[in-house]
Structure 1
Amino acid sequence: MPRETMLRERIVQTNARNREVTMTPILRERYETPHSRRTFLRRTLLGSVALSLAPLIPERAAATLVHRDESGFFSPQEATVLAGIARAFIPSDTEEIPDPVELGVVERIGRLLSRAHPENQDQFRLLLHLFERLPLLFAGTFTPFSAMPAAQKRAYLAGWGESRLAFRRMAFQALKNLVMLTYYSRDEVWATIGYDGPWV
């Protein structure tokens, strides 16, 4: 057997073992259950319907504590939603874990997006808008995301990550990547993960 073929098979076997260990029942069903074209179209259609219905959902009172973005990129409402998302990803339940909002995660994301393409900026703003307004469709509650208690916010966020709808999973990953990138790049956080900082 050629060496290249042996290496390829070894990689496939290793990936299969890793997936067997780390895959949750929900992810296993998603990736291992065969999906018909009709299933794919139905899930895509559900995502499109959710996007089209969001503007029709009546606005409810948001959280009374409105976060203001000092970078000037986000509106107060957008900043409040993003602050809630950041704290749901990184709950600072103890003094050892710095609060992501107090470390300026919202402002840093705002500065990053201010240099992005206008279309990407609009898409991110739309994502925050959907995240705030879609609990009625996806969680069966009229309470907007920004007004939810902390535990409910975390559960709602987890629902996006485990959703069968691709657009919700993609949105979850985009939000998670941005929050984690901006949070763990702060030297105030390094001690909590045992990182002593760069050697030079």
Structure 2
Amino acid sequence: MYSISRKSFLALLLFCAGIKSKIKYFYFSDSEIKTVTKFSEVVLPIEEPGMPNLEEASVMRRLDEELYFVADEIQEDFHSAVMVLEYLPFFYGKFRCFSNLEKAERIQFLESISETESDTVRAVVGNLKLLVFLVYYGHKSTWDSISYPGPFANPPEKWSEARLHYQHLRKGDSV
């Protein structure tokens, strides 16, 4: 009979649990997930009473889904915008990337650059904010909190072929 040490068993168990629980993203890299999540935490009202958090509103999954199907040029622009945001603090005297700043520092940093003369910086922050807002407030979990009754006549949600394809990819189905 083969014997396995307790340490090896625990390592194997953690490894398998990590594989099973890992969320698949098809557009974002791991570093981009971290940057966009940290950005979303400070621009969205997720700590307000009654407002859903990022997971409940499926912010990162929906961003990944939407950006996975857009044209390559738009994908590259968004990758570039996330990279600019990540390294922008270095140009303003900070010695850490955006995703490594404390929450209060991220808020202060975004406030400090809100009046910048740079069109590029304003475009990066504004466009990232716009997209994050769209997926957050477009989710049903936010509607009651903002007193939005939903679409007129409340039609059932109809998923496009692209969204169905993305769901099959996430489940690992061959399409």
Task: Judge same fold: TM > 0.5, yes or no.
Answer: yes
Task: Report the equivalent of 1:75.
Answer: 29
Q: Is the 8 A contact 1:83 1:101 kept in 2?
A: no
Task: Report the equivalent of 1:40.
Answer: none
Task: Report the equivalent of 2:78.
Answer: 124
One-letter amino acid of the structure 2 residue matched with residue 80 of structure 1: K
Any stretches of 5+ residues in structure 2 without a counterpart? 1-21, 154-175
Q: Aligned pair in 2 of structure 1 residues 129, 142: CA closer, same or farther (>3 Å)?
A: same
Matched, 1:108 2:90: no
**C-alpha RMSD of the superposition:** 1.8
Offset from partner CA, 1:42-79 (integer Å, 9 cap, x none): xxxxxxxxxxxxxxxxxxxxxxxxxx763321011101
Q: Secondary structure at the match of 2:151?
A: coil
Task: Report the equivalent of 2:3.
Answer: none
Distance 2:24 2:113 in 1: 28
Give the C-alpha shift of residue 111 in structure 1: 1.3
Matched, 1:170 2:158: no
Distance 1:173 1:94 in 2: 22
Any runs of at least 4 consecutive aligned residues in structure 1 with deviations exceeding 6 A, and if so which? none
Q: Aligned pair in 2 of structure 1 residues 77, 94: CA closer, same or farther (>3 Å)?
A: same
Q: Aligned pair in 2 of structure 1 residues 122, 184: CA closer, same or farther (>3 Å)?
A: same
Task: Report the equivalent of 2:51.
Answer: 97
Query: How does the TM-score come out when normalised to structure 1?
Result: 0.60
Q: Secondary structure at the match of 1:161?
A: coil
Query: How many pairs does the alignment contain?
Result: 132
- 5 Å-filtered alignment, 1:44-59, equals none
Task: Report the equivalent of 2:166.
Answer: none
Give the C-alpha shift of residue 86 in structure 1: 1.0
Q: Is the 8 A contact 2:35 2:99 kept in 1?
A: yes
